[in-house]
Amino acid sequence: MKLLIKNVKMVDAFSSKDGGLLIENGRISRIIETHKSEGQEAMQQLATTDDIEVIDGKGLTLMPAFIDLHCHLRYPGFEYKEDLESGQRAALKGGYTTLAAMANTKPVCDSPELLNSILTRSRGLNLCDLHQVGAITKGLEGKALADFKGMLPYTRLFSDDGNTIFDEAIMKAAIEAAKVMDFKILVHAQPETEIIARDIKLVEELKGSLHFCHISKEASLDLIKAAKAKGLNISCEVTPHHLFAYGLDYKVNPSFRGEGDVKALLKGLEEGHIDMVATDHAPHSHEDKEKGSPGISSIEVAFSMVNTVFQENGLNTNTLSRVMSYAPAKFLGLNSGLIKEGLEANLLLVNLDEAYKISTEDFISKGKNNPFDGAAVKGRVKMTIKRGQMMFQHINQ
């Protein structure tokens, strides 16, 4: 099957081009720029070839699909909050074709058997490409290291997200193991700046590497900037909600911060000190939120939130693509996240200027816990394509 997407602006981390592209066998086989007459002719010819299906994307932007390094799919054990299918369908609606799901499930993802069974089940759904994060410590208790060696055939990502590892000796041992066995550690730091400062010191001492999840404070960014300037192997992410609002009294870890923090985080993204945006999509039931569970269900509106804030603050779509597609692809070692011939055709059609109001009622996710219900946003995912296959299409009401 061949698919031609025409009449679009193609935007990725490094370029913006008018034209379209051809998809063959799930890959981008040809990029056609139409600012010159040769390109227009080639496009015309392809568009009228018999065995090529054509999508006219007039007025829309074609981007690499998004990759989320941090979400909670709640399987197994909390399927009343979310499950592999509802979470991945919500993700596709949000423009994500690749996800990393955190390990704070019941039982905790700390064994090879569980990882294998989640991945097998997910493959059977044929929705997103799933990376299942393994726990750093057994049961996320922060006391004893989990079975890294056993889990390594199934994942290269480890995190105790939701919990902080307070025992410095355990953290040191994890950093050492990651260095020897070549895997990534994603750090949940609470209290944020204190733990980040401690862990940067450990990275320096051990010549290791760490990724800091959901940073929210200017002070944290300053520490990370200084560490990177020293050449330390550090990366970090920020969530859509910590960019979209400040000072909100809504339970989420980390908390909403101040206006100055938000401005600093945006500058950090633009300048490249913050590597990526990751959702921390954290679906909860209404009852669990009432009882104080932290988190925001956001994956299907994450792009709209980020695009809105970026437009308001003068950050461009190349930067958005860098932090939502290119950087997470690179982190995961994937040869994707760009619009380039030969790469898997994981692509989105988006309308960067479509204005709408977030409505949690319309969420596919089981988690309706989002404080921005009713908020005006700009930018909507119109179509999500994974390896050349249409996985989601937004039908205008």
Q: Which of the choices ligand DOR, Zn ion, none does residue 294 contact, using the CB cut-off of 5 to 8 A by kind? A: ligand DOR
Residue 72 interacts with Zn ion (CB under 5 A): yes or no? no
- Interface ranges with ligand DOR (CB under 6 A): 72, 104, 161-162, 188, 252-253, 280, 282, 294-295
Segment 36 to 55, residues that bind Zn ion, using CB under 5 A:
none
- The residue assigned the tokens 């988006």 is 350
Crossing angle, helix 84-93 and helix 112-125, to 10 degrees? 50
CA 276, CA 279: separation in Å to the nearest integer? 10
Residue 237 interacts with Zn ion (CB under 5 A): yes or no? no
Q: Choose the binding region for Zn ion from 125-133, 209-217, 338-346, 386-394 (rule: CB under 5 A).
A: 209-217
Closest approach, Cβ 55 to ligand DOR, in A, equals 37
Query: Tokens representing 16?
Result: 């913006």
Nearest Cα to 70, choosing from 311, 331, 284, 259?
331
- The residue assigned the tokens 């597609």 is 325
Q: Which of the choices Zn ion, ligand DOR, none does residue 240 contact, using the CB cut-off of 5 to 8 A by kind? A: none
Closest approach, Cβ 252 to ligand DOR, in A, equals 4
What Rg do the C-alpha atoms of the chain give, in angstroms? Answer: 21
Closest approach, Cβ 111 to ligand DOR, in A, equals 19
Residue closer to ligand DOR (CB basis): 185 or 282: 282
Q: Which of the choices ligand DOR, Zn ion, none does residue 82 contact, using the CB cut-off of 5 to 8 A by kind? A: none
Residue closer to ligand DOR (CB basis): 39 or 294: 294
Residue closer to ligand DOR (CB basis): 177 or 252: 252
Strand ranges, E, within the chain: 2-11, 16-24, 27-33, 52-56, 61-64, 66-71, 96-101, 129-132, 157-159, 184-187, 209-212, 233-238, 276-277, 347-357, 376-386, 389-393
Q: Which of 50, 199, 280, 353 is catalytic?
A: 280
Closest approach, Cβ 81 to Zn ion, in A, equals 16
Q: Determine which residue in the list 188, 217, 257, 273 makes contact with Zn ion, applying CB under 5 A.
A: 188
* Per-residue binder mask for Zn ion (CB under 5 A), 159-178, x = binder: --x-----------------
Residue 241 interacts with Zn ion (CB under 5 A): yes or no? no
Alpha carbon 154 to chain centroid distance?
Answer: 19
Residue closer to ligand DOR (CB basis): 87 or 295: 295
Q: How many CB atoms lie within 10 A of CB 396?
A: 6
373 counts as catalytic = no
Main-chain phi, psi angles of 219, to 5 degrees: -60, -35
In 3-state terms, what secondary structure has residue 227?
A: helix
CA 281, CA 365: separation in Å to the nearest integer? 10
Residue closer to ligand DOR (CB basis): 102 or 221: 102
Type of residue found at 126 = N
Residue 199 interacts with Zn ion (CB under 5 A): yes or no? no
Return residues touching Zn ion (CB under 5 A). 161, 188, 213
Enumerate the active-site residues: 280
